[in-house]
Every structure is written in structure tokens, then in C-alpha cells.
Amino acid sequence: MPTRLLAEQGHDITVFYANSNIAPRAEYDKRLVELQRYAADRGFGVIEGAYDPAVWEKKVAPIGEAIKDFSPALGSKHVGDDTAPSPQSVAELLDDDRRRERCRACYRMRLEEAAKAAVEGSYDALSTTLAVSPYQFTDVIHEELERAAAQAGIDAHFEDWRPYYDEATRISRELGMYRQNYCGCRFSIAEGEATRAFIKQQRKAAKEAKAAERAAEEATRAERAAEKQAYADERAKRRAILKQIRQTAD
């Protein structure tokens, strides 16, 4: 979606694939092949950065290791606190300062690589497709994009594309594209599972609430119909009595 929107704005795009965060390697390759296929169809280029998970493990993973208490139902913040309210959204489930810092380090590493490649390739500006996902820390992405671009001496082009996420999802389904079900790193595999379980549970709760609402509406309708019928029966009874009285009087 970001590539299409940027192309519509008249930008000439090249995607730099900087994803040493992705584990395992097979997943990295799968996403790359899918991107290359899509880019070939749309007529933009793809440059692959170095795949170096060891560097990611050194720079980012230690922050992720600190998050030991992630619960698929409660996220991290609420573990061990029975009085804390349950998360009401995916953002609340995944909101955690340590996760935020882990992702910041991950964005930083990859955006620095991309900024360096952009300068070497004499590009005008650097943007990032990360800004389409509602499951990322968009404010942190913005900060890190600006930082990496300024450090490399290139313009940053930031746009919050989250409003297009649902459309992007629909289009990718229609095109039969491979759809990843976790962000990329090994920590996000469990978080992705928790997110899906949470969404499923929310949908189930919403469905049950809707069914209860419909049942209550149906009960109210039935009650009104019964009242109406009782009123009609009563009037019919009175009419019959009046008729009988009149016939007796005649």
C-alpha cells in the first residue's frame, strides 16, 4: 500500500529490504520472494540488504530477553496484578515499555542500514513501510526515521499509513499474496499468537454481546405483542358482553 500511494504521488520508488530481524531464514526468504514478485508486477526495484541475524541478536535481542513475563491473555503489564484491568485492544495487549525499546532498537538498526544504502544510491529521501502497521509503535518509527535520515544526511519522508491497513490487507488477500502472521523476530512469534488469540476472543465476545442484544430485543417484541393481544382479547370480550346485554334487552 505505501508503495502504491508513493507512486501515485509521483515518487520513483526502490524498496530496500533490511530485515536481519526476521527468523527463521526460511521466513526471511519467503517474504523477500513475495516482495520481489509484487515489485516486478508493479514496476519498482528491490535491493536486498545483508541478512545478518547475529548483529540483530547482539543489538536488539538482549532488550527482548528482558521481557520474560508476556502473557497471551494479559500482555506484560498486567501479569501478577489481579487488580489491573484486562487489555481492551491489541495496542493495550502489546503496550510495554520494554517491547517499545526492543522495537526501537530494531527500527534503528534497519533504518540506519536503509539510510546508508539510500545515500550510497543517491536517492532523494528515505521512507518506511513500517508506518502502515497498526501493530507497530508509529511514533517511535517516525522518530527513528528522522534520526536515521538526519544522521545519513538525507531527507526523511514520513507518512502515517495506518488508515490504509485494512485496505492493504484486503488487496493482499485478493492477490493471493503470502501473509505473514508475526512481525519478524523470534519474540514476535509468541506475540503474534497472543494477538490472534486476543482478537479471536474479542470477536467471540462481540458476537455473544450482539446475540444477547438480539435476544433481548426479541423478548421485548414478544412482550409487546403479548400485551397487544391481551388488550385485543379484552376488548373482544367486552364487545361480546355488550352484544349479549343488548340482545337480552331486545
- The residues that touch ligand SF4, with contacts defined as CB under 6 A, are 21, 60, 102-103, 106, 183-185, 187-188
Integer Cα distance of 174 and 35 in angstroms: 16
Nearer to ligand SF4, 3 or 128 (CB): 128
Least distance in Å: CB of 18 to ligand SF4?
11
C-alpha cell of 3?
508503495
Helix (H/G/I), strand (E/B), else coil: 43: coil
Integer Cα distance of 140 and 102 in angstroms: 11
Beta bridge partners of 126: 156
Least distance in Å: CB of 193 to ligand SF4?
13
Nearer to ligand SF4, 11 or 147 (CB): 147
Least distance in Å: CB of 170 to ligand SF4?
23
Least distance in Å: CB of 154 to ligand SF4?
22
Least distance in Å: CB of 132 to ligand SF4?
13
Nearer to ligand SF4, 123 or 187 (CB): 187
Residue 228's CB is within 10 A of a number of other CB atoms, namely: 10
Least distance in Å: CB of 104 to ligand SF4?
8
Nearer to ligand SF4, 106 or 126 (CB): 106
Integer Cα distance of 89 and 198 in angstroms: 8
Integer Cα distance of 47 and 39 in angstroms: 11
Find out whether 146 and 116 touch, Cβ atoms under 8 Å. no
C-alpha distances out from residue 228 to 52, 218, 231, 238, 239, Å: 75, 15, 5, 15, 17
> Would you give the DSSP letter of residue 44?
-
Integer Cα distance of 34 and 2 in angstroms: 16
Nearer to ligand SF4, 13 or 105 (CB): 105
Integer Cα distance of 104 and 117 in angstroms: 20
Nearer to ligand SF4, 2 or 184 (CB): 184
Backbone angles phi, psi at 193, to 5 degrees: -65, -45
Least distance in Å: CB of 183 to ligand SF4?
3
